[in-house]
Chain A
């Protein structure tokens, strides 16, 4: 079945450590997204990518980095510069140009990151 796979489901980070969250999709979607969700809050956009080898900052990109070397993969690195990384991280994808305007996003099941 087509879908989005995020791994791991739970992740623990030590102080000063970088960690990478995986996101893979087999939907042949052009656009991919990373969101952060804090308890009781809505989703905030970290980064998004409309095409391979290109990505744009969202509203809260500081302390995060991404790459888009392959269409199906969009990993997110939470760097040590992100001082409050504990959150629920969600990856999404969406059909790109020229059909994107009315195409929905598809979400993974998320990764919960905690600080040790």
Chain B
């Protein structure tokens, strides 16, 4: 299984951009990188995913390093509602086993 490394916690000011890093140096060439977030007392929700190139959607942007050993989730303008635990997860194309790490707890300061 591909392993990921994320900071335990990060802090950001409201209305400023946030860059959440993830190292996944053991990822294989065809594994997608998914990001989820979990608000307090809720199940995780999907944020974004990518394979090789950078991706944008209405929630966030995903920047993937050229060697694919790391990626960065970008929240362009953080709000208090973005305070959550963010998980970076490699999705293998070999089976459906999906493992969550401990994620990064993001605190947003008003």
**CB-defined interface of A73-116 with B at 8 Å, one 1/0 digit per residue?**
00000000000000000101010100011101111111000000
Residues of B with C-beta under 8 A to A64: none
Q: How large is the interface on A (under 10, 10 to 19, 20 to 34, 35 or more residues)?
A: 20 to 34
Known: A42-B101, A42-B103. A107 touches B43 (CB 8 A): yes
Q: How large is the interface on B (under 10, 10 to 19, 20 to 34, 35 or more residues)?
A: 20 to 34
Stretch at the interface among B14-22, B62-70, B71-79, B89-97: B89-97
Interface: A8 (CB within 8 A): no
Q: List residues of chain B with CB under 8 Å of any chain A CB.
A: 30, 32, 34, 36, 41-46, 49, 51, 85, 87, 91, 93, 95-103
In the A-B complex, list the 6 residue pairs whose CB atoms are closest, starting with the nearest: A107-B43, A104-B46, A43-B100, A42-B102, A31-B96, A101-B93
